[in-house]
Amino acid sequence: MRRIGPIVAMAVVLTACATSPLGRQQLVLMPEEQLDAMGAAAFQQVSQTTPRTENPAVSSYVNCVAQAITREAGGSGTWEVAVFEDEAVNAFALPGGRIGVYRGLLDVADTPDELAAVIGHEVAHVLARHANERVSQQFAAEQGLALLESLTSGVGSGTQKTLMALLGVGAQVGVLLPYSRLQESEADKIGVDLMAQAGFDPRGSIQLWRDMQQAGGADPPEFLSTHPATETRIAELQGRMEHAMGLYQQARGAGKRPDCVPP
């Protein structure tokens, strides 16, 4: 087993303590710049293996919803948004500001509010540093430099898929590593607040999960397989709804009325 060198150890000490947007203490070991680079690499790989839509109406619609959400996410960077021509009912957001939406998602999340609920949820994972938590936990479990080295050098396809899964792109690369229930709950709450602040009706988040359940059956959507839509989850969203509706009314009063027209 290899020992962590003094520079890495110091970085661990300096970055291990973090707090989520909802006040939870987190184990965050990786520099954000490293996670951003990983996100860029993962996004590039998905782009190389899955064609983007050539339908301008679809791209315009998804970008309209995504940009309204990311404006509320803070930061000065511009998020890159891609619509992939694939029947998967799924989406993801990556560190470094990249969002991918699969064309099949629009058949289930068929209103701007429901699409905003998905994108808000995925962006919330990024804002809450959930990918960093998962990579950090993996790093801590290995107790050495193997993972860190694998992030900065060529790796085998199996390791590469695992890293992409840790970032939240697992369903598309064949490795399912769902976020923890705690992380999912955080993303639900942060995401519903984001969509409300952007001027989307937060009640669309509840309808989204009901529609996901109805689209399930024997072959559930990939989004449902990694984001289990349970009655408990819907109940938690309902418990957050009074707060979210307050944000929504404030946003509408401030003139935030996204005019995103489904294709």
Q: Which of 72, 114, 122, 222 is catalytic?
A: 122
Query: By the 8 A CB rule, do 84 and 101 touch?
Result: yes
Query: By the 8 A CB rule, do 99 and 91 touch?
Result: yes
Question: Active-site residue 184, yes or no?
Answer: no
Residue 19 to residue 224: CA distance in whole angstroms? 28
Find how far residue 144's CA is from the centre of its chain: 28
Q: 12: closest CA among 169, 102, 183, 135?
A: 135
Q: 16-55 burial string, b = 16+ CB within 10 Å, else e?
A: eebebeeeeebbbbbeeebbbebbbbbbebbeeebebbee
The residues that are catalytic are 122
